[in-house]
Amino acid sequence: MAFNVIGKTVMKSLFGKPATAMYPVIKNEFYPNTRGNIQVDMEKCIYCGICGRRCPAGAIEVSKPDKKWEIDRTRCIVCNFCVQVCPKNCLSTERHYTSPMTDKSNRISTFFGQTVQEDA
Amino acid sequence: MGERTIIPFGPQHPVLPEPLHLDLILEDEKVVGAVPSIGFVHRGLEKLVEKRDFHEMMYVIERVCGICSFIHGQGYVQTIEGIFDLEIPDRAKFLRTIWAELSRVHSHLLWLGLMADAYGFESLFMHCWRVREKILDIFEETTGGRVIFSVCKVGGVWKDIDNETLKKIVEVLNVVEQESKDLTNVFIKDFTVQKRTRGVGVLTYQEAIDVGAVGPTLRGSGVAMDLRKLGYAAYGELDFEPIVEKDGDCYARTLVRAREIYQSIDLIRQCVSKIPDGEIDVKVKGFPKGEYVSRLEQPRGQVVYYARANGTKYLERFRVRTPTFANIPALLKMLPGCDLADVPLLALTIDPCISCTER
Ligand code: SF4
Ligand code: SF4
C-alpha cells in the first residue's frame, strides 16, 4: 500500500507536469475578477472626493480646483472600496498588479482632467 | 534532579515564522515550565475603529490575519449586522459559508504542511502546499484576491459566484479531496510520523475545559464543541457533526484537522446543492447604535467579536478575542513534561497565529 503511494508520487513527479510555472517565460494568467491596479477614467470623474475620503488606507487625493486625481500606489491595499463607492463609476481595477519599484518617488500616479498624464 | 536552565524559544525561531516567545524552564532535557510573552507585533486595531468608519473598518479587520482573513471579515460584519438587527439574503449567507469553509480547507492544508515541516518531512510539506494552491486559485477566481478577499460587506457580499463556477469549485474540490487522502494517510498511518506525535503533549478533557481551549485543540481532547453548530450564516441548514478525538495528544489534534478538511469539503458540496437564487445584499441605511457579541468558528477555533456603537459612523468600542489567544494557556498545560525537541511541534499543534493574537 505504502509502496503504491510512493511509486505513484515518484512517477507523477518524474513524468508529470511541474507544479510551478517557468515564470518569466510563462506568465501567470489572471482571472477576470483579479483585483490589481486602480484605474480612473478622468472623462467621467467629477472630483467629488468621495473615493479619497472613504479609502481605508488614505491612498487617494482629489483636488477639485486643479482637476487632479492622485493615488499613492504603495499605500493602496487594493480593497476595491473606492471602486464601489464612486458615484460616477469611473474607477476600475485592472487585472495586473502594480509593478515593483526601487525608487519611492515613483509611487504616486497623478491624473489631470481631460489630458491624462502619469507623473513619473 | 538536574539543574534548571532557562532557554528562550522565539520570538524568532525556524519553525514559527511568527513572533511567539516562550521562556522554557528545563531540567536536563525535560521542560518543567514555560512563561509566554507576546506583544512583538501589536498593531492597535481596537483603537483604529475610532478613526475609520464602520464600512471601511471591514477592510482593516480582514487584515488581522492572513489565513482566516475571510472569517475575520465575516465576524465583523456579522457583529455590525447584529447591531442593525439586519437579516441578510439567504444567498449571501450561503456564499459566506462557502468562502469560510474554503478558508478552513486551505488553513488546515497549510497547517498540515507546517506540521510536516516541523518534524523535517519536507516533501510532504511541499505536497500539502501544492494541493492548497488549487484552493487559492478558487479564491482568486471568485473574489479577486488570493489572501485578502474583500468580498464581505455590512448587509451581504460584494460578489456573486455564478452556478457554473460553483459546479467548477466542486469539481476542483473532488480532486483536492482525492489528493488530500494520500497526504493525510501519511499523517494518520505512517509509523515514523506517529512516533513523533502519539502520546506527546497530552491535554486531558478536564484540562482542556479548565484552560478554555478552543477549536481543534479542544476537540482533540474529546470536547464536542463547534460553534458552527450555533447555526450562524448558513450552517443552520447544513448537516454535520463536530469532529472529536479522544486522546488529546498531538496525534489527535492532527487527526481532527485532517478530518475537518473532508468535513469542510462536504459542507461546501451541501452548500452548492442547497444555495438559493436571489439577491446578495441589502441596503444599509444610517449608523449603528447598540452593542453586539458574535462568535464564530475559525479554522483555529472560536473567535469572539464585540462592538459597541453610539449612533455615529465610528464605533465606540471594538474587541476581538482570537483563538490563538485562548489556546496559549492550553499550550502551557501541554509543555511541562515534554522533551525540548518536542516544543516546536507542540507549539505548532495549537496552530498559533500570533498576528491574530496581537491584533
Ligand atoms: S469618487 Fe469617483 S467621481 Fe468622485 S472624485 Fe473619486 S473617482 Fe472622481
Ligand atoms: S482600492 Fe482601497 S486602498 Fe486602494 S485606493 Fe481604493 S479604497 Fe484606497
Q: What is the pLDDT of residue A114?
A: 66
In 3D space, the residue among A29, A56, A63, A86 whose CA is nearest the CA of residue B48 turns out to be A56
- How many domains does chain B fold into? 1
pLDDT at A115 over 70: no
How far away is chain B from the Cα of A43, in angstroms, using its nearest Cα?
26
What's the gap in Å between A67 CA and the centre of ligand 1? 11
Domains of chain A: 30-119 (3.30.70.3270)
**pTM exceeds 0.90, yes or no:** no
- pLDDT tens digits, A28-83: 778 888 888 888 887 788 888 888 888 888 888 888 777 788 888 888 888 888 88
Q: Kindly list the distances between the CA atom of residue B247 and the CA atoms of A67, B28, B199, B200, in Å, as whole numbers in the listed order.
A: 67, 27, 8, 10
Residue nearest to atom 3 of ligand 1 (CA): A45
The residue among A120 and B297 whose pLDDT is bigger is: B297
Ligand nearest to the CA of B62: 2
What's the number of CA atoms in the CB half-sphere (13 Å) around residue B5? 11
**Domain harbouring B299, CATH code:** 1.10.645.10
Domain that holds residue B263: 4-358
Please report, in angstroms and rounded to a whole number, the separation of the first and last CA atoms in chain B: 41
**ipTM of this complex:** 0.74
Query: Which numbered atom of ligand 2 lies nearest the CA of A80?
Result: 1
* A-B contacts (CB, under 8 Å): 52
Distance CA B6, CA B27 (A): 9
* Contact: A54, B143; criterion CB under 8 Å: no
- Grid look-up 512563561 returns B35
Helix (H, G, I), strand (E, B) or coil at B80: helix
pLDDT over threshold 50, residue A116: no
Q: How confident is the model at residue A120 (pLDDT cuts 50, 70, 90)?
A: very low
- Which ligand lies nearest to the CA atom of residue A38 in the structure? 2
A82-91, A105-114, B231-240: the lowest-pLDDT one: A105-114
pLDDT interval class at A110 (50, 70, 90) = confident
- Chain B 121-160, CB below 8 Å of chain A: which residues? 127, 130, 133, 140-145, 148, 150, 158-159
Measure CB to CB from residue B59 to each of A30, A34, A77 and give the nearest one: A77
**pLDDT < 70: residue spans in chain B:** 1-2
What's the CA gap between A32 and A16, in Å, rounded? 28
* Residue of B51, B72, B130, B141 to mutate for A, most A C-beta atoms under 10 A: B141
> Which residue owns the Cα nearest ligand 2 atom 3?
A76
Taking alpha carbons only, the member of B350, B339, B307 closest to residue B57 is B307
SS3 state at B195: helix
The whole-number pLDDT of residue A1 equals 57
Whether the CB of B185 is below 8 Å from some CB of chain A: the reply is yes
